Amino acid sequence: MRPRNVRSRLTVWYVLVLAGLLALYAGVASVFLLLNLREDFDRNLVKDVEIVEGMLAKEPSGGVSLHASRPDASEPRIGNFIEVWSPQGALLYRSAALQGQSMGGPPLQDEGLEDPSPSTTRLPNGTRIRVASSVYFVEDQPVLLRVAYSEERLWGELGEFGEVLLLGFPVAILLAGFGGYALARKALSPIDSMATQAKKISAERLGDRLSIENPEDELGRLGTVLNDMLGRLQAAFDQLRRFTADASHELRTPLTAMRSVGEVALQDHRGPEEYRDVIGSMLEEVDRLTRLSESLLTLSRGDAGHVPLRKEHVSLLELAKGAVASVEVLAEEKHQQIEVQGDESLLVSADRLILRQAIINLLDNAIKYSSTESRVLVRVEGAANGEVCLEVIDQGTGIPSEHQPYVFDRFYRVDKARTREWGGAGLGLSITHWAVEAHEGKISLESEEGRGSTFRISLPAAQRSSTSSPQGGLD
Amino acid sequence: MQEEKRQLRILVVEDEAKVARALKEGLEREKYEVVVAPTGEEGFFLVNEQEFDLIILDLMLPGRDGLEVLATLRKRGLQTPVLILTARDAVEDRVQGLDQGADDYLVKPFAFPELLARVRARLRRGRMEQPHLLNLNLADLEMNVLTRNASRDGKHLDLTAREFELLEYLLRYKGEVVSREMLAHSVWKEAVRATPLDNIIDVHINRLRRKVDEPFDRKLIHTVRGVGFVLREES
């Protein structure tokens, strides 16, 4: 089963890894100990072989015996077990300690010819012994000498060592487990507190932020990232809230007009002409609502990416001239002059209709907010960074700096009461903003109150390879 | 104008009672015989039972969807022209409607003069022969489309190209109310009626008025408040 929380999972991993390491350590230490003990053992054994060699004597009968003054006293000092064999395989001597057991039987081929390298074997009764063999000449007669110690004590020591390790193992693991758990808990506790705080932050209380103890560590960075995200969310929510409020305001205005016009008309009897006028007035408001819904639809389809752009290479100046031609009558009515300047050869890749509408909206805006007999300048020029810019410069009322960040927001109006008389719904600049961004461009505003405004559209320049197609503009 | 041999019959398939009633009354005023079906099933049944010259079909219907009805009818070989009314906005829906065999579509909320214009265009009756005329006139207003000459009471009118086209359109629809939408589509060739266009249309109408009506006693260009403009002799 997989533990549910990170804390337990961390602890389990910690304990498992620690247990593995401990087991490895115990194994290596045991082997090392064994080798170490054996080295001592073997050194003594080789020494004893030499001693026993010195004690060998030939008996007159042709046998070999250990030359010792007191046979019973000689054995404890040297190896416990001694065997002497003739090369032919006849047992010449066997120490009493062996109790008649054989240490590996008759001599093997080449046994004892090399250095006496001890090896471990077992006696028939199961006792582990360490045997060193050597060939020795007793008065020209070669004999094979085997000297051995019991290894039981050595294994006993090793076993004790193992037992100690084995006893300590669960204790160490248990301690490590508790320690690891506590450590993981402490390390992860900021996450818990972040989660608790985050739970309290709702759409209504987006202003709250997570508290961060140390912004430099990993969790602090996570908290900072989350707080940044909350900031963006808050901005989006604020914008949405403003939009909803403004939209309902925009909807309520024509609805109120329709309602009061209709209700007042029904209060008493009137002639057909008057009723006609009332209905006409209500239809005007309907028209306003219709256009509002159409503009909103354009924007929402733009947001959803449902508006396919039919891009082609277009001369931005030509497009601007076409747009100016469309709205020129509006400027003429106010005795304003629209002047167009720029380089005809600057091309952008754009959807003619959509970009044209974007420019028309800017021009319409400039005409609306400029006084009579003022000038509007439209300028197209190339920028150093491979962009083409279009500027619409008016000498109008300008936009106060506190309103400037919001002018592209939907329904945003600088002066809510004054601008309605023009009939716009406050969506023109939003549509322009969308259109420019859909063309991977940027739109910006520079404005000084009382001096006029400059809207600037920057679009990536198109390759000059293809020629611009004829302008299908309107006059 | 030639005598009508029989009244033209229109089937309106529309579930919204108010809209259906307005359509019925408005079309009956134009001397059409109108039958209303509030559901797709009923519309389907009526088409199989009776003969119609035009079907006005709402797309969003309870029960059977308008497009479904249309597809079935076309599969059965029905030739009657179909004008779709849709509150849906996605272009794909419109294209789909035309693929299913619709002849034309109007997006709700539509302007009634526009609906009438579309209906007439589909039925190709009487007045619609006027678009092919080269000489148009109303009272003492005369226009030759070929020579691009317009005059009133024998006096030449000095019109810009746009003003000429505007007057031509009003003359072709003389006696009928022309909405701003219709002007935007037909004279300005704009797909979308964006905000400044209404003001532009109004300015042009005013200028046209100054040239066509102001110097004369009898006014021909009239504004129908909330609906549009009409070129007619006031009796």
Residue pair B116/B26 in contact (Cβ under 8 Å)? The answer is yes
DSSP secondary-structure letter at A467?
A: P
Are B225 and A281 a contacting pair at CB < 8 A? yes
Q: What is the pLDDT of residue A67?
A: 65
- What are the structure tokens assigned to B214, written together? 């102001």
What is the value of ipTM here, to two decimals?
0.79
CB atoms within 10 A of CB A203: 10
Does A359 score more than 90 pLDDT? yes
Residues 6+ apart with CB under 8 A from A39: none
Residue among A250, A258, A279, A283 with most chain B CBs within 10 A, to mutate: A283
pLDDT digits (tens, 9 = 90+) for A293-329: 888 888 888 888 777 888 999 999 999 999 999 899 9
Distance CA(A376)–CA(A370), nearest Å, equals: 8
Are A280 and B198 a contacting pair at CB < 8 A? no
DSSP symbols for A340-357: EEE-TT-EEEEEHHHHHH
Does A185 score more than 80 pLDDT? yes
pLDDT digits (tens, 9 = 90+) for A120-163: 888 888 888 888 888 888 777 788 888 888 888 888 888 888 88
The gap from C-alpha B94 to its chain's centroid, in whole angstroms, comes to: 18
Q: What is the pLDDT of residue B93?
A: 61
Q: What is the pLDDT of residue A471?
A: 45
DSSP secondary-structure letter at B176?
A: S
DSSP symbols for A60-83: TTS-EEE--SSHHHHHHHS-SEEE
Q: What is the pLDDT of residue A472?
A: 42
Does B124 score more than 60 pLDDT? yes
Taking CA atoms, what residue in A is nearest to B163? A475
Are B200 and A425 a contacting pair at CB < 8 A? no
pLDDT digits (tens, 9 = 90+) for B23-78: 999 999 989 999 999 998 899 899 999 999 999 998 888 777 788 888 888 888 88
Distance CA(A194)–CA(A191), nearest Å, equals: 5
Distance CA(A282)–CA(A279), nearest Å, equals: 5
Neighboring chain A residues of B161 at a CB cutoff of 8 Å: 475
Q: What is the pLDDT of residue A62?
A: 66
**Pairing label, strands B149-152, B141-144:** antiparallel
Residues 6+ apart with CB under 8 A from B43: B11, B13, B37, B55, B57, B69
Q: How confident is the model at residue B208 (pLDDT cuts 50, 70, 90)?
A: very high
* A 243-302 near B (Cβ less than 8 A): 276-277, 279-284, 286-287, 290-291, 294-295, 297-298, 301
Q: What is the pLDDT of residue A470?
A: 46
- What are the structure tokens assigned to B4, written together? 């009508």
pTM of the full structure = 0.66
Residue whose token pair is 């103890």: A213
Radius of gyration of the CA atoms of chain B, in A: 20
Closest CA to A338 of A359, A311, A357, A315: A359
- What are the structure tokens assigned to A371, written together? 């006084």
Q: Output the CA–CA distances (angstroms, integers) from residue A149 to A11, A81, A118, A152, in the order listed.
A: 48, 6, 10, 9
What percentage of chain A has pLDDT greater than the value 70? 91
